[in-house]
C-alpha cells in the first residue's frame, strides 16, 4: 500500500500473521523495533527484522511505526520517508 502525504512519501506493509502482544504496542513499538526483546504472539520471532528495518529507515531520516491490524489479524508496518531534495 503506497501512501503519500503532503510532505512525506511512504508505504505500509500488512501481514496476516499472529500480530504482536498488545502490551508491547503500548510503548510506541519501541520494544518491537529493536529497543527491547518482544517475541510475536505465540512466539517464534525475535523482532530482529523490524529492528533492521527501523535502522535503515531512520538512517535515511524516515520513521517506522507498527501496530496490529483491525481485529488483531496480523501486523501493520507503516513507513514514512523524508522527501528527497530536488
The domains of the chain are located at: 2-80
CA distance linking residue 30 with residue 39, whole number of Å: 13
pLDDT band at 80 (very low <50, low <70, confident <90, very high): confident
Q: Which residue has the higher pLDDT, 47 or 77?
A: 77
- Asked whether 80 and 12 are in contact (CB, 8 A), the reply is no
In the block, residue with C-alpha cell 503519500: 4
**Which residues are CB-contacts of 15 (< 8 A; sequence separation ≥ 6)?**
74, 75
Closest CA to 82 of 9, 1, 11, 12: 9
Share of the chain above pLDDT 70, in %: 59
pLDDT tens, 32-49?
655 554 455 555 556 677
Q: What are the pLDDT digits (tens) for 3-12?
A: 556 666 788 8
Class of domain 2-80: alpha beta
Per the structure block, which three cell numbers stand in for 26? 503500548
Q: Find out whether 64 and 30 touch, Cβ atoms under 8 Å.
A: no
Amino acid at each position: 500500500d503506497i501512501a503519500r502525504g503532503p510532505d512525506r512519501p511512504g508505504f505500509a506493509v500488512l501481514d496476516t500473521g499472529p500480530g504482536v502482544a498488545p502490551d508491547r504496542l503500548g510503548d510506541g513499538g519501541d520494544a518491537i523495533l529493536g529497543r527491547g526483546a518482544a517475541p510475536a504472539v505465540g512466539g517464534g520471532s525475535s523482532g530482529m527484522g523490524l529492528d533492521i528495518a527501523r535502522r535503515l529507515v531512520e538512517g535515511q531520516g524516515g520513521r517506522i511505526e507498527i501496530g496490529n491490524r483491525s481485529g488483531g489479524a496480523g501486523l501493520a508496518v507503516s513507513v514514512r520517508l523524508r522527501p528527497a531534495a530536488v
